Structure 1
Amino acid sequence: MASAHILTALPECDSSKAIAHNTVQVDTIAVSKERQSLSDLFTIFASGFALISDGYQNNLMTMTNVLLKKEYPKEYTSTVSTRVSNALLVGEVIGQIVIGLTCDYLGRKTAIVFTTLMIVIGGILATASHGITIHGMFWMMTVARGIIGFGAGGEYPASSTSASEAANDLIPKHRGPAFIMVTNFPLSFGGPFAVSIFLIVLMACQQTHYSTVWRVCFGIGCVWPLTVFYFRIRMLNSVLYRRGAIKRRVPYMLVLRYYWKTLIGTCGAWFLYDFVTFPNGVFSGTIISSVVHNGTILQIGEYQLLLGAIALPGVFLGAVLCDRVGRKRIMMIGFSGYLIFGLIIGCAYDRITKIVPLFVVFYGLMQSSGNFGPGNMLGLLSSESYATGVRGTCYGLSAAIGKAGAAIGTQAFQPIKAHLGDKWTFIIAAICGVVGVLVTWVFVPDLSGEDLRFRDERFRAYLVSKGWDGAMGEDDLKADANQGIDEGIAVGAVKS
């Protein structure tokens, strides 16, 4: 079968007719619309449910760190705690880059199935962590968490790009809110969800048998991705992907020339967001335990659950307002929340920590503002800003830079507390909020939620104008027979 789109070098002045002329239309559709629509629906919901497992894994160490410190007070030092927590982040950085490329070259479905398997295998190994010595057990746990991180990190570009493309065809007018509710919401919900599971298991073990508690919690993490594995293995690649994929001769230099400013925006903002939010999430249990003097693990867990619950409303508010206020403005408002609440907590730390519920509320509001702004918008903007042929790669790179910020923040968290004091973890969050506002204002594009095909056509026109003559689309695709659709998109792209 012919390739869906074959590009040849054309004069830059030739607009919509040139683009439409170089769009080879085939007379039938490879996949029926009914089957594709059903696949898109399952892709959206399966992406959301699967990302709950990522949120669960990202937040599982929050209470596990507290428990392991109680169980192994001498062996589980701050160095070991940081290493185990960072293993997930290092794995996520590698997974986001590798799977980002994979889901562009091999397809969204192939990448998603692989990431699911990695999370399950890593979860099994973490559950079975063992060693001749306690330190050996922690090293096995570190390696297992790294494998989980590879799968969880790969879920970001694989699930998010497929969900965005599916929503673009299924519910184009509500793509933004739908995307947020199946990406950042399950990731954020993973926090209180992980704590809830932890508390249930802890109570079932009568607040003893700590080894059983963390092993069961690790094991439960294998269940969530398996529940949607059938739907994932049956899913189809999106129509956008099958029409816009670039599987050979990817013009990376042209991609950088076209998207350099946007990449600085999404990568820089994601770095700042994860630098603040991840260590403050992973070590929030440790922070609360230092405030709740002589508190039991159950008490710390209850406050941790309250913190996670307060952080959730920001996700819903951001989803409601993203189309009305604009993605860029929402992200700047969210970063401003870091400035406001970070300074309140940091400057009044000695006083506010004497009233634990008040401290937890302000802490939760800071986390909620992060969810409202960059937490919601970074994934959405990264899925909308880039053309389909390089969406996974650019999304994965942006998320990987973010997770690099998370790893650096996690590594620096304990030294900052030790040398500068607890309050400086929040003052630095406020500083990152200011820088985040500036990066967003200068580098992040102000998108309106238009059909993703328009961005594909603009990118295609740019490549053609620079002399790129490669092919777009899967070899086995038979594109939409209605040539008027593509011509209309081309005209709209050039006029925009």
Structure 2
Amino acid sequence: MLNVLFTKHYPKVYTSAVKTQVSNALLVGEILGQVIVGITCDYLGRKTAIVLTTLMVVVGGILATASHGITTLGMFWMLTIARGIVGFGCGGEYPAASTSASESANERTLKNRGPVFILVTNLPLSCGGPLAVIVFLIVISAAGSDHLSTVWRVCFGIGCIIPLIVFYFRIRMLNSKLYRRGAIKSRVPYGLVLRYYWKDLIGTAGAWFLYDFVTFPNGVFCGTIISSVTNGSSLVKTAEWQLLLGIIALPGVFIGAFLCDRIGRCNTMMLGFSGYLLFGLIIGAAYDKITKIIPLFVIFYGLMQSSGNLGPGDMLGLISSESYATAVRGTCYGFSAAVGKVGAAVGTEAFTPIQNNLGKRWTFIVAAICGIVGILVTRFFVRDLRGEDLKYEDEEFRAYLVEHGWLGEMGEEDLKAPALEGVEEVVVPAKSG
């Protein structure tokens, strides 16, 4: 919504280039955060990483709220830097929070680990969009449309409060037993990791690239899209349509959580990508007619985003947290998510040129094409996981390392031991074949 606000309030300065700059600052920060914090949470522990990401989000949010400059363009440069810091924290949340959630759910509710993981990760993430729009509507109603500078600063300021609320609980959290037994603190054999997990990495990273290529620009620019369809309606009216769009997208999260154990992670993700194909083609093919009926357009647009939540939105985090051993779970998860954010950056950069050169309908047709490719990547490179205990993945990975001559230590504190300990019979699992 602030993209729409900035365009209205600073029309001469907030050009397409500046809009992309501010949006991509978050993406660049996220990519760096996903990779760096992913490695950090494997080396230093889940708690250290998750506390670091919280601090980065809060500090970046405060700087964004206080953005100023000698010129308006200077203010947007400060906002760009602040959004980069927020992005680093947000990116770090992916591996830090997700590995913690997966391992905690594995210890406390193994039979329902998949649904529980989704409900504490992608559900809050998906609720964030509608919540942000609700905050925006409340603030603009209180401040008025004549005080737009106050509106965007207050919105950014409120965004600092939620991380501070959860900070107390993160300070008190403990690293999981899986981590304390399976961590590799030094001499990580990345060559063996790549040989063992190359196929999984192609699957999770490739699918994430396609998903974020579609969903991120549609998330960032959905206010702009709706504003163009409604012929430049007021900020409040655009926000109301965007709120409806976000609410329609929410049921997909629950459907994905319901299906993941029943039909498997792989099939659920392919089902979600099929929704991109179906609804992307419907909107793209009938764009001129469907945009004349705004409620119908918002419904189909919402159903496309709901399909994304149902499939890759729910499954990518879950699969990435289950496909890799504890010792490298954060690193591999962070790498996959970072490749996804590269897709988001590419999608954001390509969004406006696609609209300008091919027509607005093609943003949805491209989403349909990504749906087809996503189905193929999932089918051939993603394992059909069904919620097995994560300790079995750790045991197979440990056996593989020992078989290939790696004899370093694994674990921390009282659970530290040589990798060879506990491997009674070394069997090379046929995972990557």
What TM-score do you get using the length of structure 1 for normalisation?
0.84
2:340 alignment partner in structure 1: 402
1:449 alignment partner in structure 2: 387
1:341 alignment partner in structure 2: 279
Residue in structure 1 matching 2:368, options 407, 430, 454:
430
Residue in structure 2 matching 1:72, options 6, 10, 14:
10
Instruction: After TM superposition, give the deviation of residue 279 of structure 1 in Å.
Output: 0.2
Asked if the contact 2:279–2:303 (Cα under 8 Å) also holds between the matched residues in 1, the reply is: yes
What letter is aligned with 1:459? F
1:254 alignment partner in structure 2: 192
| Distance (whole Å) between structure 1 residues aligned to residue 18 and residue 232 of structure 2 | 23
- 1:325 aligned onto 2:263: yes
Asked if the contact 1:334–1:372 (Cα under 8 Å) also holds between the matched residues in 2, the reply is: yes
Residue in structure 2 matching 1:230, options 159, 164, 168:
168
Aligned positions of 1:37-76 closer than 5 A = 63-76=1-14
What letter is aligned with 1:160? S
- 1:144 aligned onto 2:102: no
Residue in structure 2 matching 1:301, options 227, 239, 245:
239
Asked if the contact 1:341–1:366 (Cα under 8 Å) also holds between the matched residues in 2, the reply is: yes
- 1:170 aligned onto 2:108: yes
What letter is aligned with 1:367? Q
Residue in structure 1 matching 2:396, options 449, 458, 461:
458
1:11 alignment partner in structure 2: none
What letter is aligned with 1:242? R
Instruction: After TM superposition, give the deviation of residue 281 of structure 1 in Å.
Output: 0.7
2:95 alignment partner in structure 1: 157
Instruction: After TM superposition, give the deviation of residue 487 of structure 1 in Å.
Output: 8.5
Instruction: After TM superposition, give the deviation of residue 255 of structure 1 in Å.
Output: 0.2
Structure 2: segments with no counterpart, 5+ residues: none
What TM-score do you get using the length of structure 2 for normalisation?
0.96
| Distance (whole Å) between structure 2 residues aligned to residue 420 and residue 215 of structure 1 | 36
Instruction: After TM superposition, give the deviation of residue 385 of structure 1 in Å.
Output: 0.2
1:374 alignment partner in structure 2: 312
Helix, strand or coil: the match of 1:243? helix
- 1:272 aligned onto 2:210: yes
2:414 alignment partner in structure 1: 477
Residue in structure 2 matching 1:107, options 45, 56, 59:
45
Which is bigger in relative contact order (C-alpha 8 A, separation at least 6)?
1
Asked if the contact 1:267–1:401 (Cα under 8 Å) also holds between the matched residues in 2, the reply is: yes
1:239 alignment partner in structure 2: 177
| Distance (whole Å) between structure 1 residues aligned to residue 205 and residue 42 of structure 2 | 19
| Distance (whole Å) between structure 1 residues aligned to residue 169 and residue 329 of structure 2 | 23
- 1:134-191 CA-to-partner distances (Å, cap 9, x unmatched) read 0000000000000000000000000000110011001111100000001111111111
- 1:96 aligned onto 2:34: yes
| Distance (whole Å) between structure 1 residues aligned to residue 266 and residue 344 of structure 2 | 22
| Distance (whole Å) between structure 2 residues aligned to residue 111 and residue 406 of structure 1 | 23
1:122 alignment partner in structure 2: 60
Residue in structure 2 matching 1:184, options 112, 116, 122:
122
2:354 alignment partner in structure 1: 416
- 1:63-89 CA-to-partner distances (Å, cap 9, x unmatched) read 000001110111111111111011101
| Distance (whole Å) between structure 2 residues aligned to residue 109 and residue 163 of structure 1 | 11
| Distance (whole Å) between structure 2 residues aligned to residue 109 and residue 331 of structure 1 | 30
Residue in structure 2 matching 1:220, options 147, 151, 158:
158
What letter is aligned with 2:27? L
| Distance (whole Å) between structure 2 residues aligned to residue 256 and residue 240 of structure 1 | 21
Asked if the contact 2:410–2:416 (Cα under 8 Å) also holds between the matched residues in 1, the reply is: no
| Distance (whole Å) between structure 2 residues aligned to residue 319 and residue 207 of structure 1 | 40
Helix, strand or coil: the match of 2:262? helix
| Distance (whole Å) between structure 2 residues aligned to residue 294 and residue 453 of structure 1 | 55
Asked if the contact 2:69–2:78 (Cα under 8 Å) also holds between the matched residues in 1, the reply is: yes
Asked if the contact 1:454–1:493 (Cα under 8 Å) also holds between the matched residues in 2, the reply is: no
Instruction: After TM superposition, give the deviation of residue 206 of structure 1 in Å.
Output: 2.2
Instruction: After TM superposition, give the deviation of residue 477 of structure 1 in Å.
Output: 2.1
- 1:211 aligned onto 2:149: yes
Asked if the contact 1:457–1:493 (Cα under 8 Å) also holds between the matched residues in 2, the reply is: no
Instruction: After TM superposition, give the deviation of residue 321 of structure 1 in Å.
Output: 1.0
Helix, strand or coil: the match of 1:477? helix
What letter is aligned with 2:414? L
Residue in structure 2 matching 1:364, options 302, 314, 321:
302
| Distance (whole Å) between structure 2 residues aligned to residue 126 and residue 479 of structure 1 | 43
Instruction: After TM superposition, give the deviation of residue 207 of structure 1 in Å.
Output: 2.6
Asked if the contact 1:92–1:149 (Cα under 8 Å) also holds between the matched residues in 2, the reply is: yes
2:25 alignment partner in structure 1: 87
| Distance (whole Å) between structure 2 residues aligned to residue 149 and residue 495 of structure 1 | 38
| Distance (whole Å) between structure 1 residues aligned to residue 7 and residue 55 of structure 2 | 30
Asked if the contact 1:455–1:493 (Cα under 8 Å) also holds between the matched residues in 2, the reply is: no
Residues 232, 351 of structure 1: alpha-carbon distance in 2 compared, 3 angstrom cutoff: same
What letter is aligned with 2:213? F
Instruction: After TM superposition, give the deviation of residue 228 of structure 1 in Å.
Output: 1.2
Helix, strand or coil: the match of 1:324? coil
What letter is aligned with 1:145? R
| Distance (whole Å) between structure 1 residues aligned to residue 13 and residue 301 of structure 2 | 30
Asked if the contact 2:180–2:415 (Cα under 8 Å) also holds between the matched residues in 1, the reply is: no
- How many percent of aligned residue pairs carry the same amino acid? 72
Residues 368, 110 of structure 1: alpha-carbon distance in 2 compared, 3 angstrom cutoff: same
Asked if the contact 2:60–2:83 (Cα under 8 Å) also holds between the matched residues in 1, the reply is: yes
| Distance (whole Å) between structure 1 residues aligned to residue 378 and residue 429 of structure 2 | 26
| Distance (whole Å) between structure 2 residues aligned to residue 383 and residue 491 of structure 1 | 24
Asked if the contact 1:382–1:398 (Cα under 8 Å) also holds between the matched residues in 2, the reply is: yes
